[in-house]
Amino acid sequence: MKIYVPMDSAAKALGADEVARAILQHAGARGLDVQMIRNGSYGMIWLEPLVEVDLGQGQGRQAYGPVTPADVPALLEGKLQSLGPVQEIPFLAGQTRLTFARCGVIDPLDLDDYEAHGGLVGVKRAIAMGARDILQEVVDSGLRGRGGAGFPTGIKWKTVADADAAQKYIVCNADEGDSGTFADRMIIEGDPFSLIEGMAIAGIGVGATRGYVYLRSEYPDAIRVLTDAVDIARARGLLGPNVLGSPHAFDIEVRTGAGAYVCGEETALLNSLEGKRGTVRAKPPLPALEGFMGKPTVVNNVISLATIPVIFEKGAGHYADFGLGRSRGTVTLQIAGNIKHGGLYETAFGVTLGQVVNEIGGGTASGRPVKAVQVGGPLGAYMPVEKFDTPIGYEEFDQQGGLIGHAGLVVFDDTADMLHMARFAMEFCAVESCGKCTPCRIGAVRGVETIDRIAQGDTAAIELLTDLCDTMRDGSLCALGGFTPYPVMSALTHFPDDFATQKEAAE
Using the rule CB under 8 A, which residue among 18, 26, 46, 358 binds another protein? 46
How near is the Cβ of 331 to another protein at its closest, in Å?
16
Q: For residue 220, what is the enclosing H or E element?
A: helix 220-235
Q: Does 358 bind another protein (CB under 8 A)?
A: no
Is 252 buried (19+), middle (13-18) or exposed (0-12) by CB count in 10 A?
buried
Looking at 275-314, list the stretches that DSSP marks H as alpha helix, in order from N- to C-terminal side.
Answer: 302-314
- Give 246 or 355: the residue with its C-beta nearer to another protein: 355
Contact code string over 364-393 relative to another protein, x by CB under 8 A: -x--------x---x---------------
Chain positions 177 to 206 lying near another protein, rule: CB under 8 A, are 177-182, 185
Q: Does 360 bind another protein (CB under 8 A)?
A: no
Q: Rounded to a whole number, what is the distance in angstroms from the first to the last CA of the chain?
A: 70
Using the rule CB under 8 A, which residue among 136, 438, 493, 502 binds another protein? 438
CB 188, CB 215: distance < 8 Å: yes
Contact code string over 393-422 relative to another protein, x by CB under 8 A: ---------------x-xxxx--x----x-
Q: Does 157 bind another protein (CB under 8 A)?
A: no
Q: How far is CA 286 from CA 220, 270, 281, in A?
A: 31, 11, 9
Is 386 buried (19+), middle (13-18) or exposed (0-12) by CB count in 10 A?
exposed
Specify the stretch interacting with another protein by CB under 8 A; choose among 24-32, 190-198, 310-318, 473-481.
473-481
Q: Does 267 bind another protein (CB under 8 A)?
A: no
CA geometry: angle at 173 spanning 243 and 124, to 5°? Answer: 25
Chain positions 280 to 339 lying near another protein, rule: CB under 8 A, are 282-284, 292-293, 334-339
- Give 128 or 431: the residue with its C-beta nearer to another protein: 431
Query: Does the N-terminal peptide bond of residue 49 adopt cis geometry, omega within 30 degrees of 0?
Result: yes
CB 32, CB 63: distance < 8 Å: no
CB 302, CB 176: distance < 8 Å: yes
Using the rule CB under 8 A, which residue among 35, 59, 399, 456 binds another protein? 456
Contacts of 90 (CB under 8 A, 6+ apart): none
Specify the stretch interacting with another protein by CB under 8 A; choose among 41-49, 141-149, 152-160, 243-251.
41-49
Chain positions 233 to 262 lying near another protein, rule: CB under 8 A, are 253, 255-262
Q: Does 155 bind another protein (CB under 8 A)?
A: no
Q: Does 502 bind another protein (CB under 8 A)?
A: no
CB 376, CB 408: distance < 8 Å: yes
A 10 A CB-CB count for 369 gives 11
Q: Does 432 bind another protein (CB under 8 A)?
A: yes
Q: Does 132 bind another protein (CB under 8 A)?
A: no
Chain positions 5 to 24 lying near another protein, rule: CB under 8 A, are 9-10, 12-14
Specify the stretch interacting with another protein by CB under 8 A; choose among 94-102, 125-133, 191-199, 438-446.
438-446
Specify the stretch interacting with another protein by CB under 8 A; choose among 52-60, 349-357, 428-436, 497-505.
428-436
- Give 208 or 416: the residue with its C-beta nearer to another protein: 416
Helix axes 192-206, 220-235, angle to 10 degrees: 60
Contacts of 505 (CB under 8 A, 6+ apart): 457
Q: Does 113 bind another protein (CB under 8 A)?
A: no
Q: Does 209 bind another protein (CB under 8 A)?
A: no
For another protein (CB under 8 A), the number of binding residues is 99
Between CA 126 and CA 136 the distance in angstroms is 11
Q: Does 146 bind another protein (CB under 8 A)?
A: no
Maximum Cα interatomic distance, the chain, rounded to a whole number of Å: 77
CB 446, CB 467: distance < 8 Å: no
Specify the stretch interacting with another protein by CB under 8 A; choose among 32-40, 141-149, 158-166, 450-458.
450-458
How near is the Cβ of 312 to another protein at its closest, in Å?
28
CA atoms within 13 A on the CB side of 33: 3
- Give 39 or 272: the residue with its C-beta nearer to another protein: 272
For 364-433, the DSSP string reads: -SSSSPEEEEEESGGGS-EEEGGGTT-BSSHHHHHHTT---TT-EEEEEETT--HHHHHHHHHHHHHHH-
How near is the Cβ of 496 to another protein at its closest, in Å?
20
Contacts of 59 (CB under 8 A, 6+ apart): none
Specify the stretch interacting with another protein by CB under 8 A; choose among 19-27, 242-250, 385-393, 465-473.
465-473
Using the rule CB under 8 A, which residue among 122, 150, 154, 278 binds another protein? 278
- Give 130 or 285: the residue with its C-beta nearer to another protein: 285
Specify the stretch interacting with another protein by CB under 8 A; choose among 100-108, 112-120, 217-225, 496-504.
217-225
- Give 300 or 334: the residue with its C-beta nearer to another protein: 334
Q: Does 442 bind another protein (CB under 8 A)?
A: yes
Between CA 291 and CA 269 the distance in angstroms is 10
Between CA 332 and CA 177 the distance in angstroms is 16
Q: Does 274 bind another protein (CB under 8 A)?
A: yes
